[in-house]
């Protein structure tokens, strides 16, 4: 008779070791999904207003889908693309020229990635050893900090607040850098979830700091096409920025291509070479047909991108007005397609002491899906990617009417 295997002894400490699977830890998105299903079960005839999901609600442009289909039939596109195809890198360089008015060598300074989430997970392997430090802003996308922790690095969080336009306080950043000697500073502008936008003055200070203290800036630019005041600014644009920056771009949000999993990373040749070495040992690259579809998006879908940007700006403005009218302190974001606002102390006679408690109320009583954030005080994120053109909500006005009624009267229909 075989000896029973002890699975718990096999799990790595980074995922819980012997406690893995034994602790019933429920993540907030799971809690949201569970509450949504419960609300639908108890209120089958009530329309749910889903502003939780942070991904585009429509499909990619027709020309992009057509290009994907056509290229998927080409036999030569079946092979492993490894670190990418030159045509996609060249399209990325043309995009960066339009966005930043900078020239980049497609072969030495740009590499494709299977979405920026993957790139954020891969980057720490190129720079971090056990005991190294990472500075990240909070709230923020958790992928790079999670991997950094798994590699034995120490993550130090800097809180973002509306008082400083959701930028890290430069004095606090300098102090933290001096105390921790980080290898990586993780930034994300336009910011998810806060919607803050960085300035050239901010980046000039941060780049100078990186040169003084010898660290790399990893800037997640997934929302680079959604800046509503002025133009997008990159650390690559300031003096010395190219030598210390690894910037990540995504086609997911701009062109509704989140399922395609395609993006790119831009940096100076040596930093990019280090990242590419890690990438080459982890993945075999994205399907060439997807890269060709990415070329089509970057080169020939600018009208679609402009309509997407205009749509989200209008939604941000309208929903922020509805929230304000209901007595909720909310300002329209400067970038991204999110609204991020502090939890009210009271609404409809109900008191709230956390973001989760307010999210639970919105879901269970009003049928409104939101995402709670506690890292910088209780806040709520609403995504403007709500779906229309269906039986529940034929158009945006139907969403606005229902949202306004529920927030102002606490009644659902």
User: How many beta carbons lie within 10 A of that of residue 288, not counting itself?
Assistant: 21
The last residue of a domain, from among 252, 274, 300 = 300
User: Span 164-177, mean pLDDT?
Assistant: 97
- Considering the domain architecture, whether residues 34 and 109 belong to the same structural domain is answered as no
Query: Residue 47 is part of a domain; what is its CATH number?
Result: 3.90.1150.10
- Considering the domain architecture, whether residues 308 and 191 belong to the same structural domain is answered as no
- Considering the domain architecture, whether residues 319 and 402 belong to the same structural domain is answered as yes
- Considering the domain architecture, whether residues 236 and 281 belong to the same structural domain is answered as yes
- Considering the domain architecture, whether residues 187 and 271 belong to the same structural domain is answered as yes
What was the pLDDT predicted at 133? 98
User: Span 1-19, mean pLDDT?
Assistant: 91
Q: Is residue 249 part of a domain?
A: yes
Structural domain count of the chain? 2
User: Span 299-323, mean pLDDT?
Assistant: 97
Q: Is residue 8 part of a domain?
A: no
What was the pLDDT predicted at 27? 65
What was the pLDDT predicted at 412? 78
Q: Tokens for 34?
A: 């569970």
- Considering the domain architecture, whether residues 259 and 330 belong to the same structural domain is answered as no
Cis ω on the peptide bond leading into residue 190 (within 30° of 0)?
Answer: yes
Q: Is residue 12 part of a domain?
A: no
pLDDT digits 0-9 by tens, 122-136: 999 999 999 999 999
Per DSSP, which regions of 216-297 are E strands? 216-220, 245-250, 263-266
Query: Residue 110 is part of a domain; what is its CATH number?
Result: 3.40.640.10
The pLDDT of residue 105 is above 90: yes
Q: Is residue 68 part of a domain?
A: no
Q: Is residue 221 part of a domain?
A: yes
Which position has the higher pLDDT, 27 or 407?
A: 407
Which position has the higher pLDDT, 183 or 410?
A: 183
pLDDT digits 0-9 by tens, 237-248: 999 999 999 999
- Considering the domain architecture, whether residues 287 and 346 belong to the same structural domain is answered as no
Burial track 70-81 (b if 16+ CB lie within 10 A, e otherwise): ebeeeeebeeeb
What was the pLDDT predicted at 391? 84
What was the pLDDT predicted at 26? 64
The last residue of a domain, from among 300, 320, 338 = 300
The last residue of a domain, from among 257, 277, 300 = 300
Q: Is residue 10 part of a domain?
A: no
The pLDDT of residue 186 is above 90: yes
Q: How far apart are CA 183 and CA 216, in angstroms?
A: 6
Q: Domain of residue 319: give its range.
A: 20-59+303-409
- Considering the domain architecture, whether residues 345 and 290 belong to the same structural domain is answered as no
What was the pLDDT predicted at 402? 96
Q: Is residue 362 part of a domain?
A: yes
Mean pLDDT score of the chain: 95
User: Span 377-393, mean pLDDT?
Assistant: 94
Q: Cβ(148)–Cβ(180) under 8 Å? A: no
User: Span 103-111, mean pLDDT?
Assistant: 98
- Considering the domain architecture, whether residues 293 and 206 belong to the same structural domain is answered as yes
Q: Is residue 7 part of a domain?
A: no
Q: How far apart are CA 163 and CA 117, in angstroms?
A: 29
- Considering the domain architecture, whether residues 253 and 387 belong to the same structural domain is answered as no
- Considering the domain architecture, whether residues 347 and 271 belong to the same structural domain is answered as no
Q: By C-alpha distance, which of 302, 304, 294, 301 is closest to 89? A: 294
What was the pLDDT predicted at 25? 67
What was the pLDDT predicted at 272? 98
User: Span 344-367, mean pLDDT?
Assistant: 94
- Considering the domain architecture, whether residues 35 and 173 belong to the same structural domain is answered as no
% of the chain surpassing 90 pLDDT: 87
């Amino acid at each position: 008779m075989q000896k029973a295997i002890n699975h718990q002894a096999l799990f790595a400490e980074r995922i819980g070791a012997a406690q893995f699977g034994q602790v019933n830890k429920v993540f907030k998105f799971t809690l949201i999904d569970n509450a949504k299903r419960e609300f639908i079960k108890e209120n089958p005839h009530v329309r749910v207003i889903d502003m939780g999901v942070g991904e585009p609600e429509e499909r990619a442009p027709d020309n992009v889908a057509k290009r994907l289909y056509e290229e998927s039939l080409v036999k030569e596109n079946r092979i492993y693309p490894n670190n990418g195809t030159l045509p996609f890198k060249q399209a990325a360089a043309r995009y960066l020229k339009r966005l930043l008015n900078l020239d980049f060598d497609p072969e030495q300074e740009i590499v494709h990635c299977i979405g920026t989430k993957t790139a954020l997970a891969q980057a720490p392997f190129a720079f971090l050893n056990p005991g190294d430090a990472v500075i990240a802003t909070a709230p923020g996308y958790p992928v790079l900090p999670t991997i950094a922790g798994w590699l034995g690095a120490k993550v130090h969080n800097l809180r973002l607040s509306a008082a400083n336009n959701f930028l890290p306080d430069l004095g606090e950043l300098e102090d933290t850098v001096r105390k921790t000697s980080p290898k990586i500073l993780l930034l994300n502008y336009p910011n998810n979830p806060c919607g803050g936008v960085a300035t050239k003055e901010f980046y000039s200070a941060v780049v100078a700091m990186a040169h003084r203290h010898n660290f790399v800036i990893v800037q997640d630019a997934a929302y680079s096409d959604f800046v509503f005041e002025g133009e997008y600014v990159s650390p690559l644009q300031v003096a010395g920025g190219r030598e210390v920056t690894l910037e990540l771009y995504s086609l997911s949000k701009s062109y509704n291509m989140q399922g395609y999993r395609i993006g790119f990373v831009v940096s100076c040749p040596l930093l990019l070479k280090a990242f590419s070495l890690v990438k080459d040992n982890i993945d075999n690259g994205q399907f060439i047909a997807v890269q060709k579809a990415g070329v089509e998006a970057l080169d020939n879908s600018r009208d679609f991108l402009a309509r997407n940007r205009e749509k989200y700006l209008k939604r941000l403005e309208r929903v922020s007005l509805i929230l304000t009218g209901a007595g909720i302190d909310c300002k329209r974001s400067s970038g991204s397609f999110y609204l991020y606002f502090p939890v009210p102390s009271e609404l409809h006679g109900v008191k709230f002491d956390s973001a989760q408690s307010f999210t639970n109320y919105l879901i269970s009583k009003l049928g409104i899906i939101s995402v709670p954030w506690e890292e910088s005080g209780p806040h709520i994120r609403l995504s403007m990617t709500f779906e229309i053109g269906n039986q529940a909500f034929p158009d945006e006005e139907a969403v606005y009417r229902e949202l306004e009624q529920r927030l102002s009267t606490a009644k659902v229909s």
